[in-house]
Amino acid sequence: PTRPTTPTRPTTPTRPTTPISHMAENNNTNDNFEDEEFDIQGFIEKFNIPMGIGQMDKKKVPYALVNDRIVTSLVTQERFDYLNNEFEHKDGDIFICTHLKSGTTWTQKIVVSLLKKEGPLHEVSLWFELALIPAVAIENAQCRAFKSHWWGSDHVDPTQYPNCKFIHVVRNPCDMIVSFYFHVTGFIAYNYLGTFDEFFELFMEGKVDFSDYWDHALSWWRHRNEENILYLRFEEMIEDPRKTITDIANFIEADTSDEFIDKVVDLTSFESMKKDKSNAPKFPRQYQLLFSNKHIIDL
């Protein structure tokens, strides 16, 4: 794909009147975060949580610089160095690689289901760039199907690791940016209070998580003909989920019997995934407190 010279601005979506905290929505405990004492600064220092550039500016999306790239503030230089210098890529490893809001969780669920793995999705298929996940957990992962939002280079370069399998999903940016906007306005940790028009400009300038969309898309487009990559389009996945699941099954050499594919189609439907709370990401109990209204002000 080529970068459009004059991008078309999507219609401004209606902003929710009350921001939704994804962490609060997905929390299964009855704890009242507002009544709990918590040393927020001590926790940040203990786990080396980067606050991100623009964190205090409610009209900007907080991000960090890792290896001279703009990423989410939950990815660190230390984790990047580990993945590129210490992490052992094993034959048959599967990497599910996307930009944000491009069908990542859905694709993870499909792959995990085809591999017949069970358990909370984000514990089975690890986002191995997330600094909060210990390196030992990555090294001892029972399911070697990892999530990544990185460019098609470095630790997820298909040409550098020919014995690994890479699944890349690309989504129409006009739809992706709307989903992205609701992500940053609904996810309290971003503390973003700007309008959609303002977010659109940040997106076009690459001043959001994983920066320039077209640079990211092009980095994977260059690998589309490699034998160890399956290049998928989100819109085609929506149009024919069964074909997508069959294509992925063939690619990762999973069971392709009609009976099993039918089962996976059902398990990975949007209706089924919405009902299954195990698909929601889980973070350490203390980290969830970062997403409460009480503590976000202290950041």
Inter-residue contact 58 to 185 (CB < 8 Å)? no
Inter-residue contact 23 to 286 (CB < 8 Å)? no
- The sign one gets for the Cα dihedral 217, 219, 220, 224 is positive
SS percent in the chain: helix, strand, coil, step 5: 45, 10, 45
Cα gap 245→174, rounded to integer Å:
25
Cα gap 264→176, rounded to integer Å:
25
How many CB atoms are located within 10 Å of the residue 49 CB?
A: 18
Report residue 122 as tokens: 């984000």
Cα gap 227→23, rounded to integer Å:
38
Inter-residue contact 268 to 115 (CB < 8 Å)? no
Q: Annotated active-site positions, please? A: 149
Locate tokens 């930009």: which residue?
A: 99
Cα gap 159→60, rounded to integer Å:
35
How many CB atoms are located within 10 Å of the residue 223 CB?
A: 19
- The sign one gets for the Cα dihedral 22, 19, 76, 102 is positive
Cα gap 11→196, rounded to integer Å:
9
Q: Which residues pair with 168 in a beta bridge?
A: 97, 231
Q: Which residues pair with 232 in a beta bridge?
A: 169
